[in-house]
Structure 1
Amino acid sequence: MRREMPYTAGLGERYGYATGYRATSHPSLPNYLAMSGGSTFGVTDDHDPSAHPLAAQSVFGQALAAHRTATVYAEDMPGPCFTTSAGRYAVRHNPWTYYVRERAACRRHDLPMTGLSADVRAGRLPNAGMVVPNTCSDAHDCPAATADAWLRTVLGEVMAGPDFTSGRLLVVVTADEDDHDQGNFVLTTLVNPQLHHVVVSSPLDHYSLARLYAEVLGVPPLQQARSAPSIVSAFGLVVGPGH
């Protein structure tokens, strides 16, 4: 990890990381559904939303229903809430597009990544957000060093913005799944000024991430996230609408 992704490894050592964080399954899509909806909804493939129209609530829709904010920023997505893959944009990595009852909200708030910089500078990053790299920036089609450089650029900008410097932004860097060689354990880094070289070895997973969204929003966790181990407790964080 340090050799291939030194910037990302350094963030984990400075702030915090989890060594016992496990992805939900293979392939990619079920993992993104677990993160965003607290369930894989029985999905076992990477097909487009037309094959898996989910009549369920996502953490992003839940945020809006609670009068909070939500935005997904997807690199190289041709237009808002784009429901088919195009070039290096992989719709299977953009989970909000699968929740059909939230499609109108998705069209307003699931946006190309080109809008991220302005939101960072203005201090208006969402209460529930996700940044989706393209299939080169996430190391799927390109070397890990490319992903590390991408994270250095994106996180460097985010960490210089007022949402992070004020202490109110928690950044989670994780992967959807492993390369079939690590027992589906994925090294997961948390970045927030509350954290100082915290290493957590207790079991966590993508349902824990869905629970984290709920704990940040101050709403009930969705589906299997209700019983998932808490990232907040594991890392000793203070989160919620007042923080």
Structure 2
Amino acid sequence: MLVVENHSLDEMSSEMPYTFGLAQRYGYATASTALTHPSLPNYLAIAGGDRFGVTDDDPPASHAASGPSVFGQALSLGRTATLYAEGMPGTCALEDGGDRYAVRHNPWAYFVDERSLCRQHDLPLDTFAADVADGNLPNAGMVIPNTCHDAHDPDCTLGDADRWMRAHLAPVLAGPDFASGHLAVVVTADEDDGSQGNTVLTAVLHPSQRGHVVGTPLSPYSLTRLYEQVLGASLLGEAATAPDMAAAFGLRVRRRTG
């Protein structure tokens, strides 16, 4: 999963031609909506099936999310998980810094029960290219651009984000994990800019998708559910009743356990 910041479906489809071209080639949803503003509650919802009462963008020192994340679930099942964060200084950084790294966009850093796992598997983006080339992408993965390349900062545009997506997605789509059919790539946004009722582009890139346009209403909890279906994990919180993204796109995934 790769996440853009604060832009609507209409904005992303018109101003990110490479990314939206992939969405049209493979598949995308027309009724995928974020839960709220600002960013952090949406990221926590994706990672943990709950907003944990968070209504702001404050750092982990202010918000301790208890219980498992989808990344911790993966590791507890003997599978793999990695969050790749561009510009992050070190692993599982709990404060802003580095090259436009924003901790509010790194949900795993908030899950206090998994802090030791986060320190091992929440990594700077530098490791991503090698994992792509080696066919070593994780069972549960998330890629977080810095605040320029996710089009958040005012001096950066969706064009900048689109060029960044091309640079990082093209190798993935040409790589062994995608060719195997075992990898689905989701591109989405955490929230819109307030212009489209929080409707965002959510694209699913997988060899089974061929111009698939899905009208099923989806939410960040649908993304939680998709992670857990891929893992064969129990459904956390609101994911248990969220619209089924795998079914909407016709993706074949593991049976749920527990």
TM range (shorter): over 0.9
Q: 1:73 aligns with which of 84, 101, 104?
A: 84
Q: Does 1:204 align with 2:223?
A: no
**Distance in 1 separating the partners of 2:173 and 2:211:** 17
**Distance in 1 separating the partners of 2:249 and 2:161:** 25
1:108 CA drift (Å)? 0.3
**Distance in 1 separating the partners of 2:13 and 2:147:** 21
**Distance in 1 separating the partners of 2:220 and 2:67:** 17
Counterpart residue type for residue 195 of structure 1? Q
Q: Hey, what does 1:20 align to over in structure 2?
A: 31
Q: Hey, what does 1:90 align to over in structure 2?
A: 102
Counterpart residue type for residue 118 of structure 1? A
**Distance in 2 separating the partners of 1:108 and 1:28:** 25
**Distance in 2 separating the partners of 1:131 and 1:67:** 21
1:2-17 mapped onto 2 (5 Å cutoff): 2-17=13-28
Q: Hey, what does 1:188 align to over in structure 2?
A: 202
Q: What 5-or-longer segments of structure 2 have no aligned partner?
A: 1-11
- Cα-to-partner distance string for 1:70-116 (whole Å, 9 max, x where unaligned): 00000000000000011410000000000011000000000000000
1:240 CA drift (Å)? 2.6
The answer on whether the counterparts of 2:13 and 2:201 sit within 8 Å (CA) in structure 1 is no
Q: TM-score, normalised by structure 2?
A: 0.92
Question: Stretches of 4+ moved more than 4 A in 1?
Answer: none
Counterpart residue type for residue 174 of structure 1? T
**Distance in 2 separating the partners of 1:99 and 1:237:** 29
**Distance in 2 separating the partners of 1:237 and 1:32:** 23
Q: Does 1:167 align with 2:181?
A: yes
Q: Hey, what does 1:150 align to over in structure 2?
A: 164
**Distance in 2 separating the partners of 1:201 and 1:186:** 13
Q: TM-score, normalised by structure 1?
A: 0.97
Counterpart residue type for residue 116 of structure 1? F
**Distance in 2 separating the partners of 1:107 and 1:161:** 27
1:33 CA drift (Å)? 0.3
Q: Hey, what does 1:126 align to over in structure 2?
A: 138
Counterpart residue type for residue 20 of structure 2? A
Q: Hey, what does 2:122 align to over in structure 1?
A: 110
1:3 CA drift (Å)? 3.6
Q: Does 1:218 align with 2:229?
A: no
Q: Percent identity?
A: 59
Q: What 5-or-longer segments of structure 1 have no aligned partner?
A: none
